[in-house]
Each structure stands twice: as structure tokens, then as C-alpha cells.
Amino acid sequence: MYIGIDVGGTFTDAVLIDKDRVISKTKFPTVHDNLLLSLLEALDRVTDQVDNSLIERVVISTTLITNLIVQNKYEPVALVLEPGPGLNPRDYPFKEDTFIIDGAIDYRGRQIIPLDKRQLDLTISEIKKKGYRKAAIVGKFSGRNNAHEIEVGNIFNRAGIITELGHKVSGRLNFLRRAATTMLTVATRDEHVKFVDTVNKAFRDRQITAPIFILKADGGTLSLEDSKKAPVETVFSGPAASTLGAMALSPEGEDTVVMDIGGTTTDLALILSGKPVLASKGATVKGYYTSITSYAVRSVPVGGDTAVAVKGNDIDLLYERKGPAYCFGGPYPTPTDALLVLGYYSHGNVEAAKEGLVKLAEPLGCDVKTVAQKILDKFSQSITGAIEDMFLSWEQEPAYRVWELLHPTQIRPQNIIGVGGAAPGITQAVARLINCTPVIPEHAEVANAIGAAVAQPTLKATLRIDTGEGLYTVEENGNQGSVSKFSSFREEDAVRLAKEQLLKMADDLHVPVDTGSVEVTHSEVFNVIRGFTTTGRIYHVTVQTPRKILTRLYKQGGQDA
């Protein structure tokens, strides 16, 4: 049996799944200053009828790290950057104390300016004088050669400063995103470690021996223990949870829009050919782009609790919450009231909802049902606009190869799946507007927890192999090593090396990998030519484990659970 728990901003959801059936589920308001309590309460509720020894796996999605960051609840970190030639560091976006050090590595991983040890000593004393205990050390092109970062890190560690190095956080090109992510990693690690240790203890106390995982923003899982290495990977796992949940509850392999309708916002995500679409830029945290991979999600500022008022000869969404819906005693009529009056929703006081809508109906000279329908239409239109926008911007993603431009992707969804309390009526209305099939699954209200429960570890190894320099680097973990400089190194060798690195990574992260299922998802070769002779080759190879979910709960034609 699998458990999924999503400690969300408003609700904490949990499910217990056996094969493809939901055995029990729970949903209750998150206790803000005690996320652990919320988590354990949810856990206890879904497991109270079962023998804990039957639990095979637990996956948690939590806003812990997001909250720490957003609420500034972390110890300040000194940012130590080695920029080399390029943008003036004065124009960097960081508000943190930034210390610039000399030294530079270029795009092929060659040292172009050596480190200045004397300057490093001065930097360390300055950092200490300012009272910092922790530093993020990030060099431009450290993903191509980590030597400088390692050396600086060692010197800092010897001086008693707690550090994190950029290349360990991400080897992907983008110095500023890497710097932000490294800073957030050092900043949140202590709190996260504390959280992990308490969770572990609480599970042991309950005799749950199943492995515990934590959900990442990219929809993959990390073992709770390994997440200590990369705490920030767990930010924004909420949208990943709802998308994966929607995936488990919708038709396999199709193009689907996921619509997670909350109180004041509606989050949209896309599943294309059965796979969630990843954002092209890293997640934005505290206004900084990061190198954290996340799903492409778009938030529309309307939800079930959005206040509605009369404006001119029509109604208008106010794009803010003035309190709960009328049917729950609120001051303004809302889409939730409209849904209740139209029979798409079954909680709250129908009479109160009608009362609220009359306030809109009277000045417009129409009946309550008409007003309710108008609200639903407005709501649907604002979502439809955002969906269309999402597709357009997805089609506008830059392309750097002729082939990509000649094979443009123009897809419009077949399905729209609605999760969240107000989902049923809105999903039908939006589906009608964009002409696709509405999917309103059972258990939609705990879709996030289902998403956590079905998430799988995903492993990817992206190698850049430069036979001219005799060097290879792995983007995902910053590993580097040497390869033969001879031209006998071929594409097959590149793929073999990439698979080896993936298996090593799997080993480090305790993820079992079926070697046969590892697929090459990207491969390209550039000849390095100087004069008219080939002096090497640059390979870019990506191999990954198949991106699958553990189980599907979608039932064709119905809701028969």
C-alpha cells in the first residue's frame, strides 16, 4: 500500500492507495505554524484502519522550504562569486551581501584567470567580520570545470565557514540561476535536516518502516534522507503533486490541461502525450530565477472565493477574496455560490447563496440562475484566456535547430481535468469553451496527495564530453572526469559513459534502475575544428529513466470506485 501526503498552503491531504484503488483519504486545514503536526495528523487519519507493516512506501510533498524562503526564516548567507568576464556584477539581481573574487574558467572549462589566495583570505575575514557563518560559492562555468569552486570551498571550510558549491547544485548553464539556488540551498539546509530527522523519528514511533520519499518540483522523488543534499529541490512540489495526481486520474498518453481550482487562484498545467510539460526557465523563488526544474504552471487570480460585484450592466470578477462564499456566511457572492445554485456543488447553504446572488440579479433585472450562469461564464473565460496563452507561449519557446523549427508543435488539448473543490461545474464550462472533454474524476479533492503517492524517482544524466579538452562533466551532480583525447572516441562511447554516470547517480541516491529501460533522450555532436583539422568533438548526451507514475486510477467511462 502506498501513502501520499501533501502538506499544502491551505489543506493537508493524504491518501492510502492499494494497487489502483483509494482505500482511504483525508483533507483538513493545514496548521500553519506546525506543518509536522499537520503531516502526522493526516498520516494517522489515513492509516488508522490498517496495519502499518503493510505500508510499502510513503511520499510527502510539503511547503516547508517554500515557507522558510518566503518568510525569510533562514540565516543570511554570504554570496561568494567568481564572475570572470561578462556582465558587471553590479548589475546582478542579488540583495544578499555579495563578495566578488578573482579567477575565471571559460566555456570549455579552461582556467583563464587563476585564483588569488591572498584575496580569498581577505574575503574570509571580511565575511566573518560581517558575522556570516555560511557562504554560497559559485563560479561562472563551474559546471564545465569545478576546480576553482572546490579549492575555494576547501579554503573556506578550513576557515570554519559552512559552504555549498555551485556545481553541486546544478551544472546547467546559467550562472545567476545557479548562484541563487546555491544560496537557497545553504540557507535552508539546517531547517530541512531538522524536519527530515523529526519526520523519520515520528514514522519510526509508528512502526512504519516503509521507505519515505519527498516530492520534488520536477515531479520526481528523492529519499527523505537524500533530500538533505538538495533541500530546495522540494520547493513548489505542490503544482507537481496536483499535476501528477491529475495524470493518474486522466486518460493515459493524451493531451490534457490540468486545472487546480483553489479559493483565490486557479493553477494550470499541461500534460502532453501523457507527460507533464516542464518550465523552460527555472522556478522563480523570491524573485530570483533558479536552476530548479519545475512543471510549467500558470496561476490565474480567480478561484471559488473570488468576490463578484455588479459593474455597469454586467457582473465583474473582483480578482480578490473578500471573505468566504455567501453560502458559508461571507459578505460577497462568489463563483462557489453560483456553482451551488446551479447544482454543481453540494456544500454550504443554498438559500444563503441565492440570497447573495439576488444582490447581483436585482440591479441587472434578471433571475438568480441567469446571474449564476454569468458568473460561471466570466470565470471560464478568464481561465480559457490563460490556457490559450499558455499554449501560445509554449509554441513560442525558442528553437536552436533547423529541425525544431520545421517540426513545430501545435497541440490543443483533448481533455481538461479539474481538481479542487469547485472543479465540477467550472471544468464543464471551460471544456465547452475550448472544445474538449471534461474529466471530473472521483477523489479530485485529494488529487495532490494522489500525485505524491504515485510519483516515481526520475533520474537523468546530461553529459558534455569535450574530447578536445579530454574532459567530461555531468550537469545534474557536477561530477567531472577525463576522457581520451583521441578521435577513436565515438558517439557510442558517449552514450555508454552517460549510462555509467546515470547508474552511479542511481547508486548514490539509492534508486534501483533497470538498465534496459534507460533511454537516450538527446544527443548531438559538434566537431571542433581549428584551421581545417578536427581537433576534437563535443558531445551533448542525455540519458534518463522512463518518466512514469506508479499506478493509474483513471477509470474509463466512470466513477465506479
Partner 1 sequence: MKKTGLVFFPAFDWAISPTHPEREERLLYTRDQIFEEGLMDLPQITEYKPRLATKKDVARTHFCVPNVAGQTTEAHLIAAGGALVIADALMKGEIHNGFAMVRPPGHHAMRVVHGNRGFCNINNEAIMVDYLRHKYGIKKVAIIDTDVHHGDGTQDIFYHDPDVLFISFHQDGRTLYPGSGFTNEAGGPAAYGTTLNVPLPPGTTDEGIHYVLDNLILPVLNEFQPEIIINSAGQDNHYTDPLANMKVSAQGYAQLNQKLAPDIAVLEGGYAIETALPYVNTGIILAMAGLDYSHVIEPDYNKNQLVQSPEKTERIKETVEELLAVWKQRNKIELGVLAHKSDFYQRQKTIFYDTDYIHENQVEKVRLCYDCAGYITIMSQAFHHNDRRSKVFCVAIPFNACQRCYNDAHNDYMNAVRSEAYDYVYLQNKAEDVYRIFTNVGTKKLEEF
Minimum CB distance to partner 1 smaller for 125 or for 393: 393
Q: Which part of the chain contacts partner 1 (CB under 8 A), choosing from 139-147, 203-211, 314-322, 365-373? A: 139-147
313 counts as binding partner 1 under rule CB under 8 A: no
392 counts as binding partner 1 under rule CB under 8 A: no
Which of 24, 37, 41, 108 contacts partner 1 by CB under 8 A? 108
Q: How far is CA 416 from its chain centroid?
A: 21
Backbone angles phi, psi at 321, to 5 degrees: -100, 130
- Nearest Cα to Cα of residue 175 among 109, 92, 77: 92
CB distance 473 to 540 below 8 Å:
no
389 counts as binding partner 1 under rule CB under 8 A: no
Q: How far apart are the first and last CA of the chain?
A: 17
Which of 289, 319, 328, 554 contacts partner 1 by CB under 8 A? 289
174 counts as binding partner 1 under rule CB under 8 A: yes
Buried b (16+ CB within 10 A) or exposed e, 364-388: eeeebeebbbbbbebbbebbbebbe
Q: Which part of the chain contacts partner 1 (CB under 8 A), choosing from 396-404, 415-423, 449-457, 487-495? A: 396-404
83 counts as binding partner 1 under rule CB under 8 A: yes
Minimum CB distance to partner 1 smaller for 132 or for 288: 288
| SS3 assignment, position 153 | helix
28 counts as binding partner 1 under rule CB under 8 A: no
Minimum CB distance to partner 1 smaller for 147 or for 358: 147
Element (H, E) at 177: helix 175-205
Query: What residues between 489 and 528 interact with partner 1 by CB under 8 A?
Result: 524, 526-528
Minimum CB distance to partner 1 smaller for 86 or for 160: 86
What secondary structure does DSSP assign to 359-404, as a single string? HHHHHHT--HHHHHHHHHHHHHHHHHHHHHHHHHHHHT----SHHH
**Alpha helix segments (H runs only) across 206-256:** 237-248
Which of 193, 208, 538, 550 contacts partner 1 by CB under 8 A? 538
552 counts as binding partner 1 under rule CB under 8 A: no
Q: How many residues bind partner 1 (CB under 8 A)?
A: 44
Minimum CB distance to partner 1 smaller for 116 or for 524: 524
What single DSSP character describes residue 451? Answer: H
Which of 70, 309, 366, 399 contacts partner 1 by CB under 8 A? 399
Which of 403, 514, 516, 558 contacts partner 1 by CB under 8 A? 403
CB of 112 vs partner 1, minimal distance in Å: 4
Encoded amino acid at 36, one letter = L
Buried b (16+ CB within 10 A) or exposed e, 111-148: eeeebeeeebeebbeebeeeebebbbbbbbbbbbbbbb
What single DSSP character describes residue 291? Answer: S
Q: How far is CA 39 from its chain centroid?
A: 20
104 counts as binding partner 1 under rule CB under 8 A: yes
410 counts as binding partner 1 under rule CB under 8 A: no
Minimum CB distance to partner 1 smaller for 90 or for 129: 90
Which of 70, 405, 411, 561 contacts partner 1 by CB under 8 A? 405
Minimum CB distance to partner 1 smaller for 167 or for 443: 167
Which of 19, 51, 71, 91 contacts partner 1 by CB under 8 A? 91
Q: Which part of the chain contacts partner 1 (CB under 8 A), choosing from 196-204, 264-272, 395-403, 511-519? A: 395-403
What secondary structure does DSSP assign to 487-541, as a single string? TT--HHHHHHHHHHHHHHHHHHTT----GGG-EEEEEEEEEEEETTEEEEEEEEE
Q: Which part of the chain contacts partner 1 (CB under 8 A), choosing from 5-13, 403-411, 431-439, 488-496? A: 403-411
534 counts as binding partner 1 under rule CB under 8 A: yes
396 counts as binding partner 1 under rule CB under 8 A: yes
Distances (CA, A) of 532 to 171, 467, 490, 527, 529: 31, 17, 20, 11, 6
CB of 177 vs partner 1, minimal distance in Å: 6
Which of 400, 486, 556, 557 contacts partner 1 by CB under 8 A? 400
| SS3 assignment, position 260 | strand
277 counts as binding partner 1 under rule CB under 8 A: no
| SS3 assignment, position 244 | helix
CB of 269 vs partner 1, minimal distance in Å: 22
Buried b (16+ CB within 10 A) or exposed e, 522-531: eeeeeeeeee
Element (H, E) at 429: helix 423-434
Q: Which part of the chain contacts partner 1 (CB under 8 A), choosing from 140-148, 151-159, 319-327, 346-354? A: 140-148
CB of 141 vs partner 1, minimal distance in Å: 6
- Nearest Cα to Cα of residue 453 among 61, 13, 23, 59: 59
Query: In the complex, which residues of this chain contact partner 1 (CB under 8 A)?
Result: 83, 85-91, 104, 106-108, 112-113, 140-141, 144, 173-177, 281, 289, 396-403, 405-406, 524, 526-529, 531-534, 538
